[in-house]
Copies of this chain bind each other. A is one copy, B any other.
Amino acid sequence: MASQAAGRGSGPLDRQLRERAAQVIPGGLWGHQRASALPEGYPQFFRAGDGCRVEDVDGHVYIDLMCSWGPIVLGHRHPGVEAAARAQRDLGDCLDGPGEVLVALAERLVTTLAHADWVTFQKNGTDATTACVMIARAATGRRKVLVARGSYHGSAPWCTPLMAGVTEEDRCHFLPFDYNDPDSLAQAVAQAGDDLAAILVTAFRHDLARDQEMPDPAFAQAARQLSAERGAALIVDDVRAGFRLDLRGSWAALGIAPDLSAHSKAIANGHPLAAVTGRDWLREAATRIYVTGSFWCSASAMAAALATLTELHRVDAPRQLERVGQRLRDGLSRQAQAHGLSLRQSGPPAMPMLLFDDDPGQRLGSLFCQEALRAGVYLHPRHNLFLSLAHTEADIDAVLAATDGALAAAAAARRAGVA
């Protein structure tokens, strides 16, 4: 980092860039990284990343607990990953066909992911979830796909959370159920009848602004059993959770093998890549669908993924992420109690969600995050956070030093009745 100035938030260069951006980009920015959807004071533009720290364009440095919304699992600019990507790029990246690394990475994923017999690659998580749906439909000759209410599976017309620009027909074959509710799932299966192509579930329940839930074993079993009984595919959307909870796939510990799974985000530590993995009975269908993209065979992101997977295995990433996540959770829990605040911490420690009781609209949560930001910690009031391997115990303690003051400010605001 050029500068080590801790925290603060949006500065003069950030504000100037926002004004310029507002002229040439609708709303200043699209999608999940729009600062306008964050509490006031959050910077929109970033200059650099290093390990578990990011630096905004004004030189303010934050300990990063968003990890670029998931892709960064080893820390920003991990030397081994960057060296592997660069070595590949120095030969060639986007060529007339893939490189040898395509085969090596596909073999690695088939070995790594318990259920996987084969792999295909894409760029976006949405590419992967969409391909899963298409493969399931091609294999079964059926149309209905069951999706949990509130689950995020990407931003194509069939799944994007907002309905602007989406037609009714884009959604007409997607039937809702409630996550972790086997009865609701069984009803949706019955509703689909003999047109059931797939049941699509996120690895755990990680909806926006809601306590996270690990998959209930009975629910997961029901999803597996109902899809098998009906000859439909069980698709686990592991885009967000993948490679943080279990390197064998997030449902492996439940003893459940999905038929298809979608991966992206952490797969290449920030390099653009996605993957679909599947079981043999869907292999032929996967050859019949036509999905492709100009950069899907590019070799440097695959070299990055291979290096990322090697390192994740070497350090037993899930265990270490859980350990630092638990240290954060324990510390926050003690602090919240000391300040008299009811802080709910849900989901896996490696991907925590922080929500306060009696906090509609996350007004208190936003104030807490703003205070933490000023003190040098980048959090999110409504979305799950992400830990990385670059977060050491000392970094977590530095986070806790900042959150103690932020929780004190939040408690004062609550006492004063302003949040």
Q: Which residues of chain A have a CB within 8 Å of any CB of chain B?
A: 13, 17, 20-21, 23-27, 29-33, 35, 43-50, 54-55, 57, 64, 66, 68-72, 76-77, 82, 86, 89-100, 102-103, 106-107, 109-110, 117-120, 123-127, 130, 133-138, 143, 155-158, 160-162, 164-167, 169-170, 172-173, 239, 264-265, 270-272, 278, 283-298, 301, 378
Contacts and interface: CB of A to CB of B under 8 A. Distances in A.
Contact of A162 (B90, B103, B165, B289): B289
A103 B239 CA distance: 28
A137 B415 CA distance: 48
Most chain B CB within 10 A, of A100, A117, A136, A271, is at: A100
Given A290-B31, A291-B160, A64 B170 contact: no
A363 B94 CA distance: 29
A96 B155 CA distance: 18
A26 B100 contact: no
B125 A293 contact: yes
A290 B162 contact: yes
B162 A92 contact: no
A72 to B, nearest CB: 7
Given A31-B292, A107-B20, A164-B289, A96 B68 contact: yes
Contacts of A46: 92, 95-99
Given A20-B103, A32-B292, 18 more contacts: A29-B97, A43-B97, A45-B103, A47-B91, A47-B100, A49-B93, A69-B294, A137-B165, A155-B291, A161-B290, A162-B288, A164-B289, A264-B294, A265-B294, A270-B295, A271-B295, A272-B272, A272-B295
Contact of A291 (B30, B47, B48): B30
Contact of A93 (B27, B45, B270): B270
Nearest to A105: B24
A96 B54 contact: yes
Nearest to A29: B98
A20 B160 CA distance: 37
A137 B107 CA distance: 42
Contact of A270 (B55, B94, B109, B117): B94
A139 to B, nearest CB: 9
